[in-house]
Structure 1
Amino acid sequence: MKNVLIIGGTSGLGWALANELANDDQIQNVYTVGRTLHTEVENPKINFFAHNLLMDNFNFSERFNDIDALFITIGAGRVAKFDNLSEKEINMEININYKAVATVLKQFYPRIQKSNDFKVAVISSIAGMINSPLFSVYGASKAAIMALIQSLNIELEKDGSNNRILDVRPGHIAGTRFANNKSIDTKPAQKVAVEIITAVQKKDQILIPGYEETYKAVIERNREDSHEFGINSYDYKIAGNRLTEKPQIKIGYMSGTFDLFHIGHLNMLKKAKQYCDYLVVGVHKDASHKNKTVFIPLEERMEIVRSVRYVDEVIVSLPEDSDVREIIPYNYLFVGSDYKGTERFQRYEEQFSKLDDVEIVYFPYTKSTSSTQLRSAISQDNK
């Protein structure tokens, strides 16, 4: 391996893999892709690229055409009853755990087939092998990935390819999350990272970290009586207070008039979607707050915004963006940097500083077509 791509390599096990690989003298570059980077990059071999995998308009194979190893470590899920999961969250888990993985594998598949030595590892989960109540959608989506990898490895063999996809099926790994931009103990994750690198070098097809000491007995109990295993698993999670009521999905909110829709609007919406799983856009009824008139009716402006693929939901905005949180508990409030320092957003900053689950993201102003320019052009034509 010389050039490695890690999809989801910005935290947890992916970050442990990135650092382990970057310390190998044989490795020249480690490219990591994720929505945000949670810690400082100290090794110059590690190169970070921001991308939200829920945005399906990117070809990784074209962008990273020099790699000879691919690690896909993405995953999303939480311990919760099925009726506590929203449709948004279900779609997000399926899209991240299965669709995004299958899409990336498809993009690189010609190279996996034809290259003499192309290393591939995908992180699934032990949850996909056993009865996983309170982890239903996560377990089901991981089981789907296991089935996909198993089938692809047979196809590769029948096609005469020497390459195989390593299916890594871990259970819980300590040190695989980051909090407050500071990593916790990553030694357990680092140990698993070494196991994965060794297994992928050997072209193994399945790796279950901690199999002999922990998961062999778990798998056997499930095989002997899956129903009883499921009942015990359910009770164990409840007794251990492992249920989480808070959705894992990150919601973003942006408001605007979106009159005379142009590339500047599109770029703002695209930037916003980079940060969140679900983007809600509030459209102003008019532009009276700017002492301007609008050219396009509200319903038409809402329909235009709704048709943009980066947007998941459109609502009529409220006078105060902060009040929208009472209706939609967003985690990010997006706005142009020209609003930073205004009385309104200073008030929002003070209000949100008391909360730990919301952040204002200011997008820097960039030169592009603007509504002001279009208004001016229209006014000139009307003279």
Structure 2
Amino acid sequence: MNSSDKILALPQLQEQLNEWRAQGQKIVFTNGCFDLLHLGHVDYLEKARQLGDKLVLGLNTDASISRIKGPSRPLQDEMSRARVMASLLYIDAVVLFNENTPLELIKMVQPDILVKGDDYSVEQIVGHEIVMAKGGEVKTVPLVKGYSTTNIVRKIESTQKNPE
């Protein structure tokens, strides 16, 4: 399987979800921008995947990242980010979403477990009501402190301003 085979459009994702459910697989869902892959991301995704059998990643499109984080982001285009994320062994499917939040995608996926980092409370996690109403779980996983794309960008910018 090529990593690009894990990048699915909504109809393909629905078929895959149906197949996994027929096999009794527990579906985990998380989402994010994942602009520059770093240790914090890898650790988070590994922990998320350990909560179930299949991990579906909702990935913000370039347009949604620009709306949320400003015109200088993302640093990498959506297909580059999708391929990098799909190459990770913890991730079973990557699906792009263009909205500011993954609410509509969560309604479609109907995950057994919805996961975000512990910088969120369960009540702050978009879609928690949907998952809990159908008997699913909403969980947070501990983040590796000090790792973020924003911190990496700041470090690069400060190096450019103050070359050694």
TM-score by length of 1: 0.33
Q: Distance in 1 between matches of 2:33 and 2:82?
A: 9
CA apart distance, 1:363: 1.2
Q: Distance in 1 between matches of 2:23 and 2:111?
A: 11
Report 1:311-326 matches (<5 A).
311-317=91-97, 318-326=99-107
CA apart distance, 1:269: 0.8
Residue matched to 2:111: 330
Moved beyond 3 Å, runs of 4+ = 85-89, 347-353
Structure 2 gap segments, 5+ residues each: 1-16
Q: What SS does the aligned partner of 2:50 have?
A: helix
Residue matched to 1:373: 151
Deviations 1:32-78 (A, max 9, x none): xxxxxxxxxxxxxxxxxxxxxxxxxxxxxxxxxxxxxxxxxxxxxxx
Residue matched to 1:289: 68
Deviations 1:78-123 (A, max 9, x none): xxxxxxx95546xxxxxxxxxxxxxxxxxxxxxxxxxxxxxxxxxx
Question: Contact 1:335–1:363 (CA<8 Å) still a contact in 2?
Answer: yes
Larger Rg: 1
Q: Which amino acid is the alignment partner of residue 321 of structure 1?
A: P
Q: Distance in 2 between matches of 1:276 and 1:328?
A: 14
Q: 2:41 is matched with which residue: 260, 265, 269?
A: 265
Q: Distance in 2 between matches of 1:375 and 1:282?
A: 23
Distance of aligned partners of 1:250 and 1:261 in 2 relative to their CA distance in 1, 3 Å threshold: same
Q: Tell which has more relative contact order, 1 or 2 (C-alpha 8 A, sep 6+).
A: 2
CA apart distance, 1:330: 1.2
Deviations 1:7-43 (A, max 9, x none): xxxxxxxxxxxxxxxxxxxxxxxxxxxxxxxxxxxxx
Matched, 1:359 2:140: no
Q: 1:302 is matched with which residue: 61, 82, 96?
A: 82
Residue identity (%): 27
Q: Which amino acid is the alignment partner of residue 144 of structure 2?
A: T
Q: Distance in 1 between matches of 2:30 and 2:137?
A: 12
Q: Distance in 2 between matches of 1:308 and 1:341?
A: 26
Question: Contact 2:30–2:56 (CA<8 Å) still a contact in 1?
Answer: yes
Q: Distance in 1 between matches of 2:39 and 2:127?
A: 28
Distance of aligned partners of 1:326 and 1:341 in 2 relative to their CA distance in 1, 3 Å threshold: closer
Q: What SS does the aligned partner of 2:133 have?
A: coil
Q: What SS does the aligned partner of 2:109 have?
A: coil
Q: What SS does the aligned partner of 2:134 have?
A: coil
CA apart distance, 1:295: 1.0
Pairwise CA RMSD:
2.5
TM-score by length of 2: 0.73
Distance of aligned partners of 1:277 and 1:341 in 2 relative to their CA distance in 1, 3 Å threshold: closer
